Each structure stands twice: as structure tokens, then as C-alpha cells.
Amino acid sequence: MQSNFLAKLLTIVLFVFSMNVQAQNEEHEGTPEEVSLKTKIKESINHHLLDSHDFIFFSDTETGKHYGFSLPVILIDEGIQLFSSSKFHHGETVAENNGNYYKLYHNKIYKTDAEGTITLDDHHHPTQVKPLDFSITKSVLMIIITGILMFLAFAGMAKSFKKGPIVTGAGRFLEPIIIYIRDEIAIPNIGINKYKKYMPYLLTVFFFVWFLNLFGLTPLGVNVTGNIAITFALALITFIITQFSGNKNYWKHIFWMPGVPVPMKIILAPIELLGVVIKPFALMIRLYANIMAGHIVLMSLIGLIFVFHNWIGSSLTFVLAFAISMIELLVALLQAYIFTMLSALYFGFAVEEHDEAH
């Protein structure tokens, strides 16, 4: 109830603020400097939300310099094309490798000519060939880093248990969370007899989503779980595990529900089958939309600090941005919990035994 109230309150505040800004814009379009500043803020937000082939910590707008490091580009095009993303020079130049030319367009790589020509169709989509891209992008790098951190943390925890029943180090922080996931998520939803084989996945997906959500709130500028491709992959894994775990009762209640008249079975079967796909789809959209919306709101509020030219507006915006940041810390944990809870619930539906007599 409290979270719903805060969401409604924030919606009202943003609506009133947007109406006020719109009214001001209708009266005064702004100086070229103000328009340029707003454009830079929009570009900064878009750059934060999108994946990229280099890792930029910050940029100097006056000199045009970017401070960070390049990442490897791996393409499948007439063999394997391997080169550094520095050849693109942040999308400003054409990259040449083994006689092939490639151009970055909206953070996607297209094969082109030496001039870097990009032609668009009627729908404003590039007509150039897009090779298979297996590059180590910023999001992929953060996934690798998160995986390494999780491996080190849990490997250290396992070694600690070998020495004695009392866990040490980072395990003291992780153990209560693991016990909570086991006792409050896995066992109630899956069952005491079948939960163990699902625990590795539930623990992995919880800490994976949680850590990536926290990384997204740092100045590193990563938006991994706000990328629908990532949430799609996670939801797909949950979907596959659910379907392969389904027993005969699970499939019977989808295609031929017991105790239901035959005409109703024919009507309900397509609906139930559609629900099989809708469940992971909702899982994907829920995580993606919440994280994406949180990043947009937070960065927009931070951008407004530079738009206002008085200490009252900037101070109030800073306070609101700080408050939203605190809420986002809670959302980072909450979304990991919800994803894990719903995954366990779907597994429980798949393995549940039904008493036909009842």
C-alpha cells in the first residue's frame, strides 16, 4: 500500500511539473543555449539506457574527449572479424578489418563501404547488411563481472563451510538471504520434497538480478536489466525449466482440465495454452519496465538540476532525485525478489501433484 501511494504521489508530482514546463515552453521556447543543454541531457539519458561497444566513465563536452576504454568487437562476416571498438572512434569513423568496412549506427554495426554510407528504407531502417554480432559490449562485460563476483562469493562461502559450521567473510551477509529464499520462496511455492533441485537457479537469478540492478545505480552508467534482451533471456530460462519440469497433471490441467464439461475444455484449452506464454512474457516486461522507468526518471531529475537557473528549483530537484535514488535501492532488491518468487511459483505449478478424487 505504501509503495502504491508513493508511486501515485510521484506520478501526480511529475504530471503537475510536466504541465508547468509545457506551459513555460509555450510562452518561451528558450535560448539556443537552453535548447542545446536539453538536447545534451536527452543524449546523455539515451546513451545511459543503450548498450555500447565501449565503456565510457565520463566525457568532456568542451573538448569532446571520452574517458574510458574500448571493448573487443567480434563479428561473423566472411569468417570471424575481431578488432577493437576504438576503430569506430565512438561512432564517428568507419572501421576497417581484413578489407571489410563497418559502421556504427544507433549502437548497431552495419557492413558498409569505405565512405561509411548508410542508406535508409521507407521505414528509416538501414538497408545495409548487419553481420552477426558477438561483441563484448558494456552490458556483456558487466554480466561477466557480476558472474565472477558471484562465483568468488559463493566459492568462498563453500570453502568456509568446509572448515566449520560458522560461515565467515562475505558469507555472513549472504547466508541469511539464502536461508530466506529457501524457507520463504522455494519451499512454500515448490514443496518440501522438490525444491532442492531448483535452488541453484533461484539463488543464481536472485543475486544476478540484484547485483546488476545495484550496478545500474552506480556512476558506471550500466543498464543491463533495463535491456529487454537480458530480461527476455532470463524469462526464457524460467520458461524452459517450467515446461521441462511439468508433470502429467500440469499438462492435463492445460489441455484437458479434469472435472470441466467437454465444451468448456475446448474453450479453455487455448486460453490456458496462451497463459503458458503470457506468464514468462509478464516476467520479462515487469523487470524491464520497472528498471528502465526508474533510470529514466532518475536521470531526468538529475538533468533538471542543470536546467534550472535558481537555487530553489535546483535544490528541490536534487532532494527529489536523492529520494528517488533511495527508492531505487529498494526497487533493485524488490525486482530481484519478485522475479525469483514468480519463477518459484511457476515451478511449483509444474510439479504440483493433484488429487483427482478432490
Count of beta carbons in the 10 Å neighbourhood of residue 296: 16
Distance, CA of 40 to CA of 356 (rounded, Å): 64
Q: Is residue 218 part of a domain?
A: yes
Q: Looking at the structure, do residues 286 and 207 belong to the same domain, yes or no?
A: yes
Q: Is residue 254 part of a domain?
A: yes
Give tens-digit pLDDT for 100-121: 888 888 778 888 888 888 888 8
Q: Looking at the structure, do residues 74 and 193 belong to the same domain, yes or no?
A: no
Q: Is residue 280 part of a domain?
A: yes
- What average pLDDT does range 44-56 have in this prediction? 75
What's the confidence (pLDDT) of residue 84? 86
Residues in contact with 45: Cβ distance below 8 Å, sequence separation at least 6, in sequence order = 296, 299, 300, 303
Model confidence at 187: pLDDT above 90? yes
Strand, helix or coil at 277?
Answer: helix
Q: Looking at the structure, do residues 240 and 292 belong to the same domain, yes or no?
A: yes
Give tens-digit pLDDT for 293-327: 888 888 887 777 777 766 776 778 878 888 888 88
CB 350 within 8 A of CB 246: yes
Q: Which of 82, 103, 136 is the last residue of a domain?
A: 136
CA distances from 265 to 215, 269, 273, 346 (A): 47, 6, 12, 22
Q: Looking at the structure, do residues 121 and 191 belong to the same domain, yes or no?
A: no
Q: Is residue 209 part of a domain?
A: yes
**Identity of residue 195:** Y
More confident residue, 50 or 178: 178
Q: Is residue 15 part of a domain?
A: no
Please tell me whether the overall predicted TM-score, pTM, comes out greater than 0.75 for this model: yes
Q: Looking at the structure, do residues 95 and 150 belong to the same domain, yes or no?
A: no
CA angle 72, 284, 106 (to 5 degrees): 40
Q: Which of 76, 101, 136 is the last residue of a domain?
A: 136
pLDDT band at 19 (very low <50, low <70, confident <90, very high): very low
What's the confidence (pLDDT) of residue 151? 92
What's the confidence (pLDDT) of residue 48? 66
Provide the number of structural domains found in the chain: 2
Q: Is residue 261 part of a domain?
A: yes
Distance, CA of 114 to CA of 105 (rounded, Å): 15
Strand, helix or coil at 356?
Answer: coil
Q: Looking at the structure, do residues 152 and 219 belong to the same domain, yes or no?
A: yes
Q: Looking at the structure, do residues 267 and 186 belong to the same domain, yes or no?
A: yes
Q: Is residue 317 part of a domain?
A: yes
Model confidence at 62: pLDDT above 70? no
Q: Looking at the structure, do residues 230 and 257 belong to the same domain, yes or no?
A: yes
Q: Which of 102, 119, 136 is the last residue of a domain?
A: 136
Q: Looking at the structure, do residues 107 and 227 belong to the same domain, yes or no?
A: no
Q: Looking at the structure, do residues 261 and 199 belong to the same domain, yes or no?
A: yes
Q: Looking at the structure, do residues 130 and 172 belong to the same domain, yes or no?
A: no
Residues in contact with 236: Cβ distance below 8 Å, sequence separation at least 6, in sequence order = 280
What's the confidence (pLDDT) of residue 97? 87
Q: For 61, list phi and psi in degrees, rounded to 5.
A: -70, -25
Q: Looking at the structure, do residues 194 and 319 belong to the same domain, yes or no?
A: yes
| Average model confidence (pLDDT) across the chain | 80
Q: Is residue 2 part of a domain?
A: no
Distance, CA of 314 to CA of 172 (rounded, Å): 41
Range of the domain at 104: 66-136
